[in-house]
């Protein structure tokens, strides 16, 4: 069974567009709230949790809806097209609202762009397992995350040149960076539409899986899979629970740091916006370089072990960062290590959840994954924002380290979700599947 890198990279263009937007959101929106609208950290933390509150309900909904959708262009593609167009339209109102210092228009446009992003996030992620057999999904998720980090890196590199001086809200010009991000999103989606034949790729995957004895309950591999309702066995359900709790814990720590890093770097360490952006670029670049090797290594040593190594490394990196009280060039090294560690976690966590799914409910299980990750991200900006407000910015990295470290112990309880080696039903079927 051969992994198709080119196909997966094209499928990953949807995640590239998503990641470009979220990097814009995490870096720029907190600065607009603080410097343009003079909103304190606790309230800003609540506003920054809007995306997670919305996603908590909408991501499982649209994941399941896309499972049940049947169109000529596939189950996921219609949501990707509609979501991208709507997101770009509403996001372009944000720099206008910031320029006019109109908080009502700003909040309204932010609300609708977050809904639009939720429309296509789960379908975009579910597209990869739709066209990738189970044993290859760690590699597939590695490529998808690589595409995502490329999207984030594109924003950060552009931002290092286009970032406005946010300390002067009257002259701050957010239009260049918002327009650039919109171009990335539209171009990525257009290329995906022109190059990805979702129904054909999905059928080919099911034929290959059937030939290797994977998901034998999928009776008709030439038709779109029907939505599946099932009750997991007790031991599998227990593993699923601890996987999802682990996801919540490391997102509690990681999201708190990424969503507040720009404020932390500027206000606590006295750094410029461009320098803070470059430090994050290093983390993104190292993660990007690590995704493919980690995907390959994980298929050999197992997804669970790879995640545990990543959790230990990420906890240590953030704990070391908490010791600094001013800028240090070592931040580039520390964040490079953090990028590799996060890659170990991110490459393998979703495939562990999807290993338990069937072809007909991939979107549903993708929704489960995002329900728990988003639930954590609803809580953590508010909680960490309160801590920053009451105890100071230097609580940020200890906070993140504690929650990520706790995920080590919950992952030890997981007994299912590692990839299973494919077992061909017959040599003849293997040759047929390769055609």
Give the pLDDT score at 427. 41
Give the pLDDT score at 434. 38
Give the pLDDT score at 224. 59
**Would you say residue 76 has pLDDT above 50?**
yes
pLDDT digits (tens, 9 = 90+) for 55-74: 888 999 999 999 999 999 99
Give the tokens for residue 284: 């993104």
Give the pLDDT score at 423. 52
Q: Can you tell me the distance from the alpha carbon of 351 to that of 132, in angstroms, rounded to the nearest whole number?
A: 11
pLDDT digits (tens, 9 = 90+) for 368-382: 898 898 888 788 878
Give the pLDDT score at 435. 36
Mean per-residue pLDDT for 38-67? 87
Q: How many other CB atoms sit within 10 Å of the CB of residue 382?
A: 19
Give the tokens for residue 124: 């975009």
pLDDT digits (tens, 9 = 90+) for 102-144: 999 999 999 999 999 999 999 999 999 999 988 889 899 889 9
Give the pLDDT score at 225. 62
Distances (CA, A) of 391 to 47, 204, 252, 299, 337: 20, 56, 18, 43, 27
- Which has the closest alpha carbon to 434: 205, 138, 195? 205
**Reduced 3-state DSSP string for the chain:** CCCCHHHHHHHCHHHHHHHHHHHHHHHHHHHHHHHHCCCCHHHHHHHHCHHHHHHHHHHHHHHHHHHHCCCCCCCCHHHHHHHHHHHHHHHCHHHHHHHHCCHHHHHHHHHHHHHHHHHHHHHHHHHHHHHCCHHHHHHHHHHHHHHHHHHHHHHHHHHHHHCCCCCCCCCCCCHHHHHHHHHHHHHHHHHHHHHCCHHHHHHHHHHHHHHCCCCCCCCCCCCCCCCCCCCCCHHHHHHHHHHHHHHHHHHHHHHHHHHHHHHHHHHHCCCCHHHHHHHHHHHHHHHHHHHHHHHHHHHHHCHHHHHHHHHHHHHHHHHHHCCCCCCCCHHHHHHHHHHHHHHHHHHHHHHHHHCCCCHHHHHHHHHHHHHHHHHHHHHHHHHHHHHHHHHCHHHHHHHHHHHHHHHHHHHCCCCCCCCCCCCCCCHHHHHHHCC
Distances (CA, A) of 1 to 51, 57, 220, 408, 422: 39, 37, 20, 32, 8
**Reduced 3-state DSSP string for 284-332:** HHHHHHHHHHHHHHHHHHCHHHHHHHHHHHHHHHHHHHCCCCCCCCHHH
pLDDT digits (tens, 9 = 90+) for 226-238: 555 667 788 888 9
Distances (CA, A) of 283 to 98, 149, 298, 334, 335: 29, 10, 21, 8, 5
pLDDT digits (tens, 9 = 90+) for 287-335: 888 988 998 898 889 999 999 999 999 999 999 998 888 888 899 999 9
Asked whether 394 and 268 are in contact (CB, 8 A), the reply is: yes
**Would you say residue 431 has pLDDT above 50?**
no
Q: Can you tell me the distance from the alpha carbon of 68 to that of 60, in angstroms, rounded to the nearest whole number?
A: 13
For residues 383 and 432, the model is more confident at: 383
Q: How many other CB atoms sit within 10 Å of the CB of residue 231?
A: 7
Distances (CA, A) of 169 to 43, 237, 318: 19, 51, 32
* Domains of the chain: residue spans and CATH: 5-220+232-433 (1.20.1250.20)
- Which of 104-118, 193-207, 258-272 shows the lowest mean pLDDT across its residues? 258-272
Q: Can you tell me the distance from the alpha carbon of 30 to that of 51, in angstroms, rounded to the nearest whole number?
A: 13
- Which of 12-21, 100-109, 269-278 shows the lowest mean pLDDT across its residues? 269-278
Evaluate if pTM is beyond 0.85. Answer: no
For residues 274 and 23, the model is more confident at: 23
Residues 6+ apart with CB under 8 A from 85: none
**Reduced 3-state DSSP string for 188-206:** HHHHHHHHCCHHHHHHHHH
Mean per-residue pLDDT for 404-427? 78
Name the range with the highest mean pLDDT among 41-50, 117-126, 262-271: 117-126
């Amino acid at each position: 069974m051969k992994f198709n890198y080119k196909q997966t990279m094209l499928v990953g263009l949807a995640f590239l567009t998503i990641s470009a937007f979220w990097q814009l959101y995490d870096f720029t929106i907190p600065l607009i709230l603080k410097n343009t609208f003079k909103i304190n950290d606790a309230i800003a933390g609540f506003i920054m949790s809007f995306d997670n509150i919305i996603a908590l309900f909408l991501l499982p909904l649209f994941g399941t809806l896309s499972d049940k959708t049947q169109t000529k262009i596939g189950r996921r593609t219609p949501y990707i097209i509609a979501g991208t167009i709507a997101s770009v339209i509403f996001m372009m109102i944000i720099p206008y609202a910031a320029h006019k210092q109109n908080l009502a228009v700003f909040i309204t446009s932010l609300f609708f762009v977050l809904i639009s992003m939720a429309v296509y996030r789960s379908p975009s992620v579910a597209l990869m397992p739709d066209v990738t057999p189970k044993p290859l999904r760690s590699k597939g998720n590695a490529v998808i995350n690589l595409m995502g980090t490329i999207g984030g890196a594109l924003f950060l590199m552009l931002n290092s040149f286009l970032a406005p001086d946010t300390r002067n809200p009257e002259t701050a010009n957010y239009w260049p960076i918002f327009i650039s991000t919109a171009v990335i999103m539209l171009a990525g989606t257009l290329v995906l539409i022109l190059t990805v034949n979702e129904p054909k790729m999905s059928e080919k995957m099911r034929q290959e899986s059937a030939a290797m004895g994977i998901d034998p309950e999928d009776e008709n591999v030439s038709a779109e899979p029907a939505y599946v309702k099932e009750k997991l066995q007790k031991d599998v359900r227990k593993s699923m629970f601890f996987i999802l709790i682990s996801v919540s814990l490391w997102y509690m720590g990681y999201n708190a740091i990424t969503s507040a890093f720009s404020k932390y770097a500027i206000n606590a360490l006295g750094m410029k916006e461009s320098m803070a952006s470059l430090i994050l670029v290093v983390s993104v670049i190292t993660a990007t370089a690590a995704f493919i090797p980690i995907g390959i290594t994980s298929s050999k040593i197992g997804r669970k072990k790879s995640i545990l190594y990543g959790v230990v490394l990420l906890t240590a990196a953030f704990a070391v960062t908490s010791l600094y009280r001013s800028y240090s060039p070592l931040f580039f090294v520390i964040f490079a290590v953090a990028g590799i560690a996060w890659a170990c976690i991110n490459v393998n966590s979703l495939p562990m959840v999807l290993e338990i799914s069937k072809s007909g409910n991939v979107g549903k299980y993708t929704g489960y994954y995002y329900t728990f990750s988003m639930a954590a991200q609803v809580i953590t900006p508010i909680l960490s924002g309160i801590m920053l407000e009451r105890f100071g910015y230097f609580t940020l990295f200890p906070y993140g380290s504690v929650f990520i470290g706790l995920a080590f112990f919950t992952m030890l309880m997981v007994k299912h979700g590692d990839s299973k080696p494919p077992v061909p039903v017959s040599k003849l079927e293997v040759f047929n599947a390769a055609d």
